[in-house]
């Protein structure tokens, strides 16, 4: 059971938009920054979003992040088949004194 809650799967058609939610509590998302990672099949995760809504260089603006209260959201617009991957949210948990992650969301581009 992961500390952060994500939907197991989401799907949408190419060109469409999808959002992935990440729900936590005041000890984690509510008082700390959220990051998002993309994990393509058989590869290591890569950083997509950091500090709630910032994109590392090289990440297209089709990817966006937001946070409100104890929840965070990853948005992906203009979906491409190459976006099919697992997506994870992560943050620091002040009560556990550990970095925690969501269980991951599998994105299918139909």
Query: Minimum CB separation from other proteins for residue 28, in Å?
Result: 10
Using the minimum distance from each CB to other proteins, give the nearer residue, 36 or 83: 36
DSSP string, the chain: --SBB--SEEEE-TT--EEEEEE--TTTGGGS--EEEEE-TTS--EEEEBTTTB--TT--TTEEEEEETTEEEEEE-S--GGG-EEEEEEEEETTTTEEEEB--EEEEE-
27 near other proteins (CB under 8 A):
no
- CA 60 to chain CA centroid, Å, is 15
Integer Cα distance of 70 and 30 in angstroms: 4
Q: Which member of 10, 20, 22, 32 binds other proteins (CB under 8 A)?
A: 32
Using the minimum distance from each CB to other proteins, give the nearer residue, 14 or 51: 51
Query: Minimum CB separation from other proteins for residue 100, in Å?
Result: 7
Q: Which member of 71, 90, 107, 109 binds other proteins (CB under 8 A)?
A: 90
104 near other proteins (CB under 8 A):
yes
x/- letters, 39..58, toward other proteins (CB under 8 A): ----xxxxx--xx----x--
33 near other proteins (CB under 8 A):
yes
């Amino acid at each position: 059971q992961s500390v952060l809650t994500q939907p197991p799967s989401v799907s949408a058609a190419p060109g469409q938009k999808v959002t992935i939610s990440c729900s936590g509590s005041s000890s984690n998302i509510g008082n700390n920054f959220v990051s998002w990672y993309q994990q393509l099949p058989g590869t290591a995760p890569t950083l997509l979003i950091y500090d709630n809504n910032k994109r590392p260089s090289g990440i297209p603006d089709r990817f966006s992040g937001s946070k409100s209260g104890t929840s965070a959201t990853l948005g992906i617009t203009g979906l491409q088949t190459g976006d099919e991957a697992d997506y994870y949210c992560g943050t620091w948990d002040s009560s556990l004194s550990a970095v925690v992650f969501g269980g991951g969301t599998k994105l299918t581009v139909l």
